[in-house]
Amino acid sequence: MDYNIKFDSNVQSVKHAVLREVAKLAFSNRLYDDYDKLPEEIMPGPKPTMRCCNYKEQAILKERVKIACGGDFRNPNILEVIKSACDECPLGGYTVTNACRGCIAHKCQTVCPKNTIHIDPITHTAKIDKTNCVNCGMCAKACPYSAILDMKRPCEMACKVGAISIDKDGASEINEKKCIRCGACAYQCPFGAIMDKSYMIDVIEMLKRAKKDKNYRVGVIVAPSIAGQFENVRLTQVVSGILELGFTSVIEAAKGADMVAIDESDELLEKGFLTSSCCPAFVRYIQVHKPSIADHVSHNLSPQAAIARFIKQKDPELHLVFVGPCIAKKMECQLPEVNKYVDVALTFEELLAMFAAQEVDLAAQPDGLLSGASYFGRIFARCGGLSEAVAQAIKEKGRDDFMLRPVAVDGMEAVKDVVAKVVSKKADFNFIEGMACSGGCIGGPAMINHEMRDKMMVEKLARTGHSTINGSLNDID
């Protein structure tokens, strides 16, 4: 089935092929019988490869298949490094480029505190002895030609919390104690050497059981950032496509966002200062890296967990699966306070793979129904949406006496700057909306594509919702 999907890169195309073939075999009960044949099905026969040989490519594909089947259960992290695929990046650190003019000043050599810079006697260009270099950067600052650059790997540059390092074999490794599970490293790796574990097989097994047992039901909570992910079809057709896979209901996470907007505004009014709890990577950043301000994090559940709790209270036997653009949500669903409401989290990439595996023709689907969240709940998908929703909730409470001074930040660099102001007690705001991904959820690492139109599609979807938060909550079954 051709969905006319425009992937951001060939890495995503390869990942999709792996997930699709794993889903096919899982749906047909052939996964473990034909497990070893999967790489051949994904990339049959000898063909040009970016690796040293086709055999290595096949070996790497086997590792991708393992991660698509759940990965290493001994590793608590959602992200795994495929070390055999991580072999084409420079080791990193400061490197002398061919812009070096071999000048006679040699300022780079004189400022080096470890005497690691030597001058080639023939070319007169500088060379760095990596065995003793401490990557202080003094040489780069001293060079008049800017010929010395800090050559970091893409994954290292993407990780803003210093969780990526290089192991003794030259492969990247993730520091479990520092990682916030944002998935930026996985998205930015040009070789696809870092992947998020997939729990898609668990969901497929749930759907297969539901097909046999009418009393076993599985519902989906879908993030509002799904708007615009599937081209040439309406979102309401995607809803029907989800039902065709075997799910019994589709609920908007934006309904939970309406609940969170009310609850976080209550907590803010009570405490006077608050940081949001909606982005699990942002919350983990504060818990792990800035624990001194952890008490400021909202004690409310995230939107997916809030709506799941509401549903479970009414229908305890319904199993729930979250689908969104976020890798960190897979971590969040394993937390005890969330896992009792949400069974597992999938990404849009995995949903697409399931559609492809079952050959669900989205364009042929009738229009399904959305659960009717508010404008404010749906704009949680983009940066600034939560702040607007909290402001609206305060307005609907009639609390004109409270002056909301929000700051909405997206991307970990901006998040770190704002959090630093809180730590140093220099904050001139009383509410932080923190989003680990650039642009908010619409910039999530598991979005099928990251075009600006996704922000416009979210806005378009939002404008079809209730005009007030209370209007949405009064219209909830």
Instruction: Count other C-beta atoms under 10 Å from residue 195's C-beta.
Output: 25
Residues 351 and 19: their CA atoms lie apart, in Å, by: 9
Average of per-residue pLDDT across 257-265: 97
Distances from the Cα of 383 to the Cαs of 108, 266, 442, in angstroms?
43, 21, 9
Residues 376 and 250: their CA atoms lie apart, in Å, by: 19
Query: Residue 477 corresponds to which tokens in the numbers above?
Result: 């079954």
Residue 241 scores a pLDDT above 80: yes
Give residue-wise pLDDT tens across range 411-420: 999 999 999 9
- Higher pLDDT, residue 451 or 148: 148
Average of per-residue pLDDT across 356-383: 94
Provide the pLDDT for residue 151.
Answer: 84
Provide the pLDDT for residue 260.
Answer: 97
Local confidence band at 182 (pLDDT 50, 70, 90 cut-offs): very high
Residue 91 scores a pLDDT above 80: no
Provide the pLDDT for residue 232.
Answer: 84
Provide the pLDDT for residue 43.
Answer: 61
Please list the residue range(s) of the chain that carry CATH number 3.30.70.20.
72-89+155-197, 94-150
Provide the pLDDT for residue 60.
Answer: 87
Query: Residue 197 corresponds to which tokens in the numbers above?
Result: 């574990």
Average of per-residue pLDDT across 178-186: 97
Q: What is the pTM of this model?
A: 0.90
Q: Look at residues 27, 86, 29 and name the one whose alpha carbon lies nearest to residue 56.
A: 86
Give the rounded percent of residues in the chain with a pLDDT score beyond 70.
Answer: 94
Instruction: Count other C-beta atoms under 10 Å from residue 71's C-beta.
Output: 19
Question: Average model confidence (pLDDT) for the chain?
Answer: 92
Give residue-wise pLDDT tens across range 313-336: 999 999 999 999 999 999 999 999
Give the rounded percent of residues in the chain with a pLDDT score beyond 90.
Answer: 79
Residues 198 and 206: their CA atoms lie apart, in Å, by: 15
Fill in the amino acid letter for 148. Answer: I
152's enclosing H/E stretch is none
β pairing state of 164-166 and 194-196 = unpaired
**Dmax over Cα atoms in the chain, in whole Å?**
82
Residues 83 and 61: their CA atoms lie apart, in Å, by: 12
Give residue-wise pLDDT tens across range 38-76: 766 666 544 445 555 666 777 888 899 999 999 999 999
Structural contact between residues 43 and 59, judged by C-beta atoms closer than 8 angstroms: no
CATH class of 94-150: alpha beta
Residue 131 scores a pLDDT above 80: yes
Local confidence band at 35 (pLDDT 50, 70, 90 cut-offs): low
Please list the residue range(s) of the chain that carry CATH number 3.40.950.10.
200-473
Local confidence band at 443 (pLDDT 50, 70, 90 cut-offs): very high
Query: Residue 357 corresponds to which tokens in the numbers above?
Result: 């595996």
In a 3-state reduction of DSSP, which class is residue 252?
strand
Residues in the chain: 477
Give residue-wise pLDDT tens across range 223-236: 999 998 888 899 99
Average of per-residue pLDDT across 203-225: 96
CATH class of 72-89+155-197: alpha beta
Spatial CB neighbours of 137, under 8 Å, sequence gap ≥ 6: 94, 150
- Higher pLDDT, residue 151 or 442: 442
Instruction: Count other C-beta atoms under 10 Å from residue 88's C-beta.
Output: 12
Could you tell me how far CA 309 lies from the centroid of its own chain? 23
CATH class of 200-473: alpha beta
Provide the pLDDT for residue 349.
Answer: 96
